[in-house]
Structure 1
Amino acid sequence: MEPKLKKELKKILLGIGIFFLFMICEKLHLLPMIFEHRLAAFAAYLIPYGITGYPVVRKALLGIRNRQPFDESFLMFIATIGAFATGENSEAVAVMAFYQVGEWFQAYAVGKSRKNIAALMDIVPETANVESPDGTVETMDPDEVSIGDILVVKPGERIPVDGEVLSGESMINTAALTGESVPRAVYPGASVISGCINGEGLLRIRAEKAFEDSTVSKILELVENATEKKSKTENFITRFARVYTPIVVYGALALAVIPSVISGDPATWIYRACTFLVISCPCALVISVPLAFFGGIGAAGSNGVLVKGSNYLEQIAKLRILVSDKTGTLSEGNFKVYKVCPKEAACAPELLQLAAAAEGS
């Protein structure tokens, strides 16, 4: 779990713990000097409310300042303020606390998906060895490599940028990028792509692309921008929320004002308006659809499948025929001995020893 999520979880649990402690004290009349006085009880419940609800309140106030108030944070904020105003302190804290629990689970799911994708995309070279005209080799960040630079790639290192082999012969592992499990032989004049792992030979490569234009960067860019390519469902939900939220706010305002004027009982109708705000909050709808798609992209990533965007993931539901490369995609291409069947006087260990000796010669 990420440190930020751990910190947020501790804050939420602390706030909920204090909230339940106050509720027990109130129900059992343990601290009458606090919970039997409205202002004192309000001040007490502000403590767990502030601990759990600060991010929501801050986001709501920023939205108001930026003249874009109509979102789920604004709804939760005014609903809980209304609950405090009508004396329902525990309900105000409960609504905010459980909303934050839901938000935390959302952040946890997104973080897990990102981690799955990051693990899959562990193909970025960390350094590049650039050969100077005088023959010295300088280690630098791949971002600093220029087109035309001569790179020295040692055995076991990743090729930092796309280029052409000038000297040296080797076998390079392209499995992380192409899915092909069989190493590819390279020699002077051969083109190589970034992210591949060099085998046993030393290679001198002339950079033909900058790092940001290389193959590995393009793949990373596709993955990082995957959530920006929204599906039709996500786009509809976004448009729907922009219209729906103001309607809910104005509807709650009308529910609080008009019946209060007619009946002369503002407390009851303000409470009902706050209830209407909470149950009408579109946060579950707005959160669930993008989260479902992002979770799908992350789950696919953990299984070695890169999805370029939610729109592509949605199209899979309509899939009827799938054309796929086999080796490295549907199969691993890594063979192992299942059974040794020696003939006549030979024994299995001796046969394996002879086979290993022949392979190594």
Structure 2
Amino acid sequence: MNKKQKKMLTRIIIAFVLIAVLSVLPVDGYLEFALYMIPYLVIGYDILIKAFKGIRNKQVFDENFLMAVATIGAILLKDYKEGTAVMLFYQIGELFQSYAVGKSRRNITELMDIRPDYANIENDGKLEKVDPDEVEIGSIIVVQPGEKVPLDGVIVEGTTTLNTSALTGESLPRSAKPGDEIISGCINMTGVLKIRTTKEFDESTVSKILELIEESSSRKSRSENFISKFARYYTPAVCYGALALAVLPPIVNLVILHNPAMWSQWIYRALTFLVISCPCALVISIPLSFFAGIGGASNAGVLVKGSNYLETLSETKYVVFDKTGTLTKGVFEVAGVHHNTMEQSKILEYAALTESFSSHPISRSLKTAYGKEINQNRVTDVEEISGNGVTAKVDGTPVAVGNVKLMKRIGVEAVECHQVGTVIHVAIDGAYAGHILISDVPKPTSKDAIANLKKNGIKETVMLTGDIDRVAQQVAGELGVDRVYSELLPADKVSKVEELLAKKSEKEKLAFVGDGINDAPVLSRADIGIAMGAMGSDAAIEAADVVLMDDDPMKIVKAIRIAKKCMRIVYENIYFAIGIKVICLILGAVGIANMWVAIFADVGVMVLAVLNAIRTLFVKRL
């Protein structure tokens, strides 16, 4: 609890004790009135001040005005205990709501703590703390154990483990070594790192995350906008309705039916009507549900740019994926080594040594798969033949590594490979040794993500890629994607998404998931764009409506589940609050419900709705 909440709790306890004591004291008349005014003012003075300011500023009709009129009216009718109790329970509800909002806000403020306070620059052998905004691209910064990484960059010296939980929601630390890219906002846990910065602070990952969070509250959902408009018209309407209930029946009784007017009875019913009609449960719980939903999502490593996107995400029925970097790792890896006369490990060793002087992605994948330190002194007579491959001598033995053209060129018959991927043929000492299959492999969780999306109400999954159809069809089949479009240019992807948008119904939403700079136009065109954040380009993150802070496709499932849960709770609160209030308003108008029922209809319903709303904070692990 903060200082303000503790102060309110103290006031509630004092007022409650005073009411309890006065309930058993044998007092009446003016003394009773004077004594009850003490707890009433202790608990309600701020509500009375707000109501007075609202009247002065010509913004009369709000919950403060309703509470002031209802409680003052009850006191004037000599229902001192009920009038004071209404104010007490209203403040209990307000305290509860304040605590719930604070709990939701803490999830987001914990994420806001990723903003670094300083960056360490080495100057004459000493570390100097400077503002991250002052560090230029290409500077070398030092991050010590326990410190936040202040800027995006590449590790040039040191190994460590990184705590990325504030960014990705994952509790397991990640290892990092020289040459690895590192993003701001991580916490360095073990070793001392030297990092060459690649972005200024304003363009860094942590800065963009903070910007997204700050902007999220300004984008309201349809439900929030409806509740705001509803309250604007509803509150004046019930005030005029209460006035009519207090005045018209007594006049009809007196003038037309010639019965006693019974003013006090009808005024009491009107005051009860006012307490019941207070729209707190709706006005508080609906925005709180969305706020908690965004907070819970951010804690799970899913940044939603506004409650309107949370609402759209819950209505998603079609998910369209870019393939490379989204469903697949986006890097070449050795998928298999098929030998002819030599051991697999030996073929891989010869291929890695032969390709050791090349910086081609395929060469890097061969060296990574070999996994041992490469001694380039063993390699001589290296010749790179454009469009064919590389020839060299390894330990004096002639080796050729390349495609079928290279094998024909040196007079070696290559064995055909029927698997999908890039095939690298290897000939050693003039004889065919085997081939190595290299492919862009699917992410470990991609298949499970597709299956879980279908379990969560997604009608169809679609994959778009620039790859040849044979490769695309194999990946789609392996992952269980429903439909695939291959050999597409970036502009073709936009056209395909527009075709899919035209075919679906208006209530069904289409989400596109991508990570690259060429995905930005498609992310903007879809009903909702989802960007893979850790690898994703700045353009993709800027164009997207939802940003996943790591590259795990299962986060898409989590984001949709959070959105669906949030909207389910929003509608539960709307139906529950309105339903209870309508019933109690009718009972109050006919005299069945008294002020204590009114307190339940106002404070009780609000507390239950707020309790329901904060359920959106808690996200189950998949």
Q: Partner letter of residue 20 of structure 2?
A: F
Which aligned pairs between 1:42-57 and structure 2 lie closer than 5 A?
Answer: 42-57=33-48
Distance 2:38 2:237 in 1: 32
Of 72, 86, 101, the match for 2:63: 72
Instruction: Give the CA deviation at 1:131.
Output: 4.6
Q: Is the 8 A contact 2:148 2:187 kept in 1?
A: yes
- The count of corresponding residues between Structure 1 and Structure 2 is 316
Of 82, 96, 103, the match for 1:112: 103
**1:213-264 CA distances to partner (integer Å, 9 max, x unpaired)?**
4321321333344343322111101111001111112222233334444534
89-98 or 168-177, which deviates more: 168-177
**Distance change (3 Å), C-alpha of 1:145 and 1:17:** farther
Match of 1:232 in 2: 222
Match of 2:175 in 1: 183
- Pick the structure with greater CA Rg: 2
Of 314, 325, 329, the match for 2:552: 325
Instruction: Give the CA deviation at 1:136.
Output: 5.1
Match of 2:239 in 1: 249
Distance 1:146 1:42 in 2: 68
Of 253, 278, 281, the match for 1:281: 278
Distance 1:78 1:147 in 2: 61
169-178 or 307-316, which deviates more: 169-178
Q: Is the 8 A contact 2:161 2:173 kept in 1?
A: no
- Structure 1 position 81 matched with structure 2 position 72: yes
Instruction: Give the CA deviation at 1:75.
Output: 1.0
Q: Partner letter of residue 15 of structure 1?
A: A
Distance 2:556 2:145 in 1: 26
Q: Greater strand share, 1 or 2?
A: 2
Match of 2:427 in 1: none
Instruction: Give the CA deviation at 1:310.
Output: 2.5
Q: Greater helix share, 1 or 2?
A: 1
Secondary structure at the aligned position of 2:141 is classed as strand
Of 289, 293, 296, the match for 1:296: 293
What is the TM-score with the length of structure 2 in the denominator? 0.45
Secondary structure at the aligned position of 1:269 is classed as helix
- Structure 1 position 162 matched with structure 2 position 152: yes
Distance 2:59 2:204 in 1: 40
Q: Partner letter of residue 129 of structure 2?
A: T
Q: Is the 8 A contact 2:157 2:177 kept in 1?
A: no
Secondary structure at the aligned position of 1:183 is classed as strand
Distance 2:286 2:55 in 1: 26
- Structure 1 position 58 matched with structure 2 position 49: yes
**Distance change (3 Å), C-alpha of 1:200 and 1:136:** closer
**Distance change (3 Å), C-alpha of 1:290 and 1:235:** same
Match of 1:354 in 2: none
**Distance change (3 Å), C-alpha of 1:81 and 1:159:** same
Of 184, 197, 220, the match for 2:187: 197
Instruction: Give the CA deviation at 1:326.
Output: 5.7
Instruction: Give the CA deviation at 1:106.
Output: 1.0
Among the aligned pairs, what percent are the same residue?
A: 49
Instruction: Give the CA deviation at 1:91.
Output: 1.4
Q: Is the 8 A contact 2:43 2:91 kept in 1?
A: yes
**Distance change (3 Å), C-alpha of 1:214 and 1:67:** farther
**Distance change (3 Å), C-alpha of 1:107 and 1:137:** same
- Structure 1 position 145 matched with structure 2 position 164: no
What is the TM-score with the length of structure 1 in the denominator? 0.74
Q: Is the 8 A contact 1:164 1:208 kept in 2?
A: no
Secondary structure at the aligned position of 1:139 is classed as strand
**Distance change (3 Å), C-alpha of 1:313 and 1:327:** closer
Q: In structure 2, list runs of 5 or more residues that go unmatched.
A: 255-260, 318-452, 457-512, 514-550, 559-622
Secondary structure at the aligned position of 1:70 is classed as coil
241-250 or 308-317, which deviates more: 308-317
Match of 1:348 in 2: none
Match of 1:310 in 2: 307
Of 261, 267, 271, the match for 1:270: 267
Q: In structure 1, list runs of 5 or more residues that go unmatched.
A: 332-361
Distance 1:125 1:289 in 2: 33
Distance 1:191 1:238 in 2: 45
Q: Partner letter of residue 17 of structure 2?
A: G
Distance 1:295 1:106 in 2: 12
Q: Partner letter of residue 151 of structure 1?
A: I
What RMSD in Å do the two structures reach over aligned CA positions? 3.3
Distance 1:300 1:22 in 2: 48
Distance 2:37 2:263 in 1: 23
Q: Partner letter of residue 175 of structure 1?
A: T
Secondary structure at the aligned position of 1:228 is classed as coil
**Distance change (3 Å), C-alpha of 1:172 and 1:66:** farther
Q: Is the 8 A contact 1:151 1:207 kept in 2?
A: no
231-240 or 255-264, which deviates more: 255-264
Q: Partner letter of residue 153 of structure 1?
A: V
